[in-house]
Structure formats: C-alpha cells, structure tokens
Structure 1
Amino acid sequence: MKKEILFVLLDGFADWEGAYIAPNLNCGVEPGSESKYVVKTVAVTKAPVVSCGGFKILPDYEINDIPTNYAGIVLIGGMSWFTPEAKAIIPLIKDAIEKKRLVAGICNASVFLGMHGFLNEVDHTSNGLEYLKNYAGVNYTGERHYINEPAVRSGNIVTANGFAALEFCREILYALEADTSKKIEKSYRMNKTGVWEAPEME
C-alpha cells in the first residue's frame, strides 16, 4: 500500500513550489518506475483553496480529519503563512516531528517553521537569513544552523528558498528514499537543464 504525503496548501499558495515534487512522488521519479507514495492535499477547511496563479484545489482533507498513518508533510509557500489561519497547521507539524516523519517547508512556509521554533536545532535555509530573522521574530534562535544554500536537508526536515523548487524536490526525494540516488539526480538534471536523458535499458 502506498504511503500518503500531505501537501499543506493555504490560499494564495505558490503553484510552482510543489510542481515537481507531486508527480515525482505520485508517478515515480522516472517514467514507468515504481511509486511508493501518493500525494494528498490538506487545507485548514474543506473549502477550495486558490493558488496565486488562479488554480482552484479541492482539498482531500481538512486539518482536523487527517489520517494518522501519513508519511510526511510538505508545506507549500505563499503569503498566507503570516496570517492567523496558518496557526491551525502547528499541531500537524508537531505531530510529524514527534513521529520523525518528513516535514518540508519552502519559501514563507520555511519562515513559518522558524517562527514557531521548529528550526532552532536543525540545519536549515530560507529566503535569506535576514529575511528569516525579520519575519520569524523572537522565537527563531537558530541562526547558527542557517546554511545559505537553495535547499537543505537535516534528517527528516527539509527547507528551501522560494526559487529552489527543484532543489526542494530533490532533497525531499532523498529524505523519503523515493528511488535510487542515480535516478533522483538524473531527474533533477533533466528538469534543471531541459535536456532529456533517455531511461536506461534494463
């Protein structure tokens, strides 16, 4: 049975930030390869969520009816992470961290993780250290663990800046052991360069 990865979406979420991750998990890292995971969407309520690009998503789950056996959560960025509504996501993040499941946040979702103290003891990145410190506020004390890279994986915690959707995807695939490192790197190169590499013959 495939394990569920929950994509957490708030109104105005950034379309591109999960665009590579979802098909790599849902369909397999390489066309025709085995997929261990299935992607499901989560929002604060069951009402449709609209991306900043205008795509309307009907969530699979609301925050209070999530199954207990999910394998990880991916927090997609957007400006709504700075609103009171976003606080409803905190218990889910705590649960995932306590159960040592994937917790991945990109762009302002990474700032939200910093804002609530989840990055203080793990290596991480975001939209720049000063940006993170400014928006995360006093609960963020993890400056010594900040790494100025597009995406950073520290155990089950993955963070990225808002322009590093591909690097975010790659680190999530590694964290979930979605496929071999060879196939993960190949998928990353193809999407990064736009040069097709034919699948290897068995």
Structure 2
Amino acid sequence: MVFITDGFADWEASYVTAELNKQGTGFQVQTMAIDKHPKTSMGGLTVLPDYSLKDFPFKLDFAMLIMPGGTGWREEKNHQVKKLVSFCFEHNIPVAAICDATAFLGNYGFLDQNKHTGNSLPYLKEGAPNYRGDENYIEKQSVSDGCLITANGSGALEFSKDILNKLNVLKSKELEEWYALFKNGFIKITGEHIEK
C-alpha cells in the first residue's frame, strides 16, 4: 500500500513499485490517501487513490505501507495517516518511509525505538519537534530495522533495495545485480562472471 499526498515525491517509490507490480511477484501496488480525490505528484502525475483513509477497512490484508516523501507531509491534514501507521506497528506490518515521511514518523514517536535515517539529523529535528530518537539515528541512505525501513530523500534506490529484500521479492545475488544495474547503469558480463 502506497500512501500518497498532493505533492508526493513520485520518484521516491518508482523503482520499488515497478518491481512489486511485475507479474509473478505475488504483489499488486495500490494507493491510499486521506480521501478519494485525485492527488498530483511533484512531477505533475495525477493519481486516483484506490482507498480513502476515511473508509479504509482495517481488516484489509496488505504486506507493507510505503510512504514517499514530498511537500504534503508538512500539511496537518495528512497526519491522519497516524492511525494507519499505528495499526501497522501493532500488527507487525512493515512501514517504509523516505524523505519528509520520516519526519512525520519522527514527530509521532515511530522512530524512537528503531534504527533509522532521514535527510539528516538536523533536518529531522527541525521537521519533527517531538522527535526523540537521536541515539538510533544512522547517517546512511537507507536503514532497515525490524518492521521499519527509512531513507534519505536521495536514497530512493537503496530504499527500494531494502523493501525488495524485506518482502523477499529479490534476494542475495539477484538483488545485488538489480541494485548494480540501476546504480551503475550497466552490468558487465564476462564469461560466467558479472562484474559490478
């Protein structure tokens, strides 16, 4: 489930949604927002949410909540998703947040008990005045700890890699090859060896 807001950062979840939505993965990407009105991304893409938070059936089975960043996280109305995030943590459903979505999580205490990252520690503190997770902050592109995945706004690829690993979509060598392809732009194949 991808939670979107007006002004969501479309590129931050694009690598992973494309992989998850492929035939044979066992997953289907669906979107949710605070209501069913179309949401327009920072890149100008308009998305009609599959679900509204207002009438979301909490009995619905979903594998992960993915929260792209963007300008909408500074708007109080989008903080209604706190109820869904709490539901995920209570039921061990992984939550993956990137960029300003990490500041939202930090402001409501969802980062305090897990290793995590964000755009930077000062940025996180500025955007989340109630944040108290300093000792668990790691300066890294993406951090996966338990049921929480967090990423820096420039770490969309690493974020996607952690999600694909958590959901067992790609593993080990296959995951590393996927990452190398998008990170380096190519994979060298020499004989039976792949040079990254």
Give TM-score, length-normalised by structure 2.
Answer: 0.92
Residue 124 (structure 2) aligns with: 132
Q: Partner amino acid for 2:151? A: A
Supply the distance in 2 between the matched residues of 1:141 and 1:101 (Cα, whole angstroms): 23
Alignment of 1:42-191 (within 5 A): 42-67=32-57, 68-137=60-129, 139-191=130-182
Q: Partner amino acid for 2:96? A: A
Q: Partner amino acid for 1:47? A: H
* Structure with the larger RCO, 1 or 2 (CA within 8 Å, 6+ apart): 1
SS of equivalent residue, structure 1 residue 74: strand
Residue-by-residue CA offset, 1:111-169 (whole Å, 9 max, x unaligned): 100011000010000000011011110x2111000000000000110000111100000
Instruction: In structure 2, list runs of 5 or more residues that go unmatched.
Output: none
Of the structure 1 ranges 188-197 and 16-25, higher mean CA displacement relative to structure 2 is found in: 188-197
Q: Partner amino acid for 2:55? A: D
Residue 27 (structure 2) aligns with: 37
Supply the distance in 1 between the matched residues of 2:22 and 2:144 (Cα, whole angstroms): 23
SS of equivalent residue, structure 1 residue 39: coil
Of the structure 1 ranges 77-86 and 161-170, higher mean CA displacement relative to structure 2 is found in: 77-86
Q: Partner amino acid for 2:124? A: L
Residue 16 (structure 1) aligns with: 11
Q: Partner amino acid for 1:54? A: G
Q: Measure how far apart 1:72 and its partner are.
A: 1.1
> Relative to structure 1, is the Cα distance of residues 197 and 27 closer, same or farther in structure 2, using a 3 angstrom cutoff?
farther
Q: Measure how far apart 1:197 and its partner are.
A: 6.3
Aligned residues of 1:110 and 1:160 also touching (Cα < 8 A): yes
Percent identity reads: 39
Aligned residues of 2:79 and 2:104 also touching (Cα < 8 A): no
Superposed CA RMSD in Å reads 1.5
Aligned residues of 1:190 and 1:197 also touching (Cα < 8 A): no
Residue-by-residue CA offset, 1:1-27 (whole Å, 9 max, x unaligned): xxxxx0000000111101101011111
Supply the distance in 1 between the matched residues of 2:68 and 2:28 (Cα, whole angstroms): 17
SS of equivalent residue, structure 1 residue 144: helix
Aligned residues of 1:103 and 1:156 also touching (Cα < 8 A): yes
Q: Partner amino acid for 2:165? A: Y
Instruction: In structure 1, list runs of 5 or more residues that go unmatched.
Output: 1-5, 29-33
Of the structure 1 ranges 59-68 and 107-116, higher mean CA displacement relative to structure 2 is found in: 59-68
Supply the distance in 1 between the matched residues of 2:98 and 2:44 (Cα, whole angstroms): 20
Supply the distance in 2 between the matched residues of 1:92 and 1:167 (Cα, whole angstroms): 24
